[in-house]
Structure 1
Amino acid sequence: MNFETLPPVDPYWVRTRLVFNTDTVAGMRELVDKAVAVKARLILTFHIITEAPSIPGADQFDRENFRQIPDQNASKGVAVLPYGEVLAKV
């Protein structure tokens, strides 16, 4: 799995989960639930947020789907923070 410890062993070399346009909101929710269950940090990397992902399997993600992820996490009490803010709290 792509979970990270906190604090990370090396803050400049961390495990992340790159999100592709073949990923689903339900799949992202499942990853978050697993991270919560094992008390791990999950770093999701979104490279291109777009209205219409056009290249199958590329690192593009639909904007509307992207908006759902933080909302779902917040409804469960899961914090969504930029990586720098997480490190500042350690």
Structure 2
Amino acid sequence: MRSWRTRIALAVAAGAAAVAVPLTATTASAATPPPGDGWQEVGGESYNSWQACYDQMQSDLPLNPQYHEATCTSNPQPGLPNFYSEWMR
């Protein structure tokens, strides 16, 4: 039979793993690209709204002649709830 010290250590380790796995899985996941082919993730930034991100991307579009379309996708990060991934094609 195991001692209480061993049982407590195992319970703490199992609890830490139960918390760590979902946290690392959500921070490691990448934003999904917009529908369609040819989209390239060109950056990401915090904006007040999706529209603010979209407007900025539209104004940046002429600076990147290899692209003809731009959009944003919401991609919240830890500590950055208003983070958006920027996409062009």
- TM-score per shorter chain, which class? under 0.3
TM-score by length of 2: 0.26
